[in-house]
Chains A and B, each alone.
Chain A
Amino acid sequence: MGEAMNSFTFDKTNLACGALLVATGAFFAVQSLSMEIGSTFRMGPGFFPLALSAVLIVLGVVVLIQATRVEGEPLGAIAWRGMAFILPAPIIFGLTVRSLGFVPAIFITALIASFASHKMSMVAAVVLSACVAAFSYTVFLWGLGLPYQAFAPWLGL
């Protein structure tokens, strides 16, 4: 647990958190304002979201105020390498599943995700991804009968 310090410092975690909440609230509020608000009797599509955005902004401000008062725990390690390889994996799957086909898309997805760990070797990653692709083909396309093309026709397989 972090200890309260006497020096005047900001708790960076809460500062970031409050800022994110206020920004998100503002984003939704601006969008809500462009929609019909209506009255309490007949609420338009913008009414409820506008109210919620206001709540979110107020809560964000409260978190910001709290950030000036207490020093919390440090943020700790951040999984930069993890984010760099894990987050693109589903995006790449989305971009390749139609153009390359299901099996190559799964192979690439697993391969990219493999590099999120520094413990994984190149050979192991390729073998693992190939196994995942083969297993997925058997279970999802052949077993469960998902209606996706295994390989795109232009690959000539």
Chain B
Amino acid sequence: MRTKRRVGGSADRVPLVRLAHARSGDKGDTANVGLIALEPGYYPVLVKQVTAARVARHFKGIITGKVERFELPNLNALNFLLHGALGGGGTLSLKTDAQGKVFSTALLRLEIPVPQGLLE
């Protein structure tokens, strides 16, 4: 798997799995993903780069509703609500992941630009 690529010599692109851990769950047809920085120094990068719009693009075609984002600087975490993510949700859903348990790692596939040297 490609994990690192130069962009214009000023930034690297890395998948979120190298910057954060995550847990997800459900509320009806909405999945939530809590994204937690692996190091406090990564949190400002997550705040800047992992916008609701970028997450919505990442999940385009997979979710049918909008994406909301909330900040928890005290926990170095962001919380995302992915609406229309679970095929009706709860017992109505036919999906393997009817309760959105692994939307967490699906988000960790997202690649974002990070300042050069951040991971060194």
Pair from one complex: no
Which residues from chain A sit less than 8 Å from chain B, CB to CB?
Answer: none
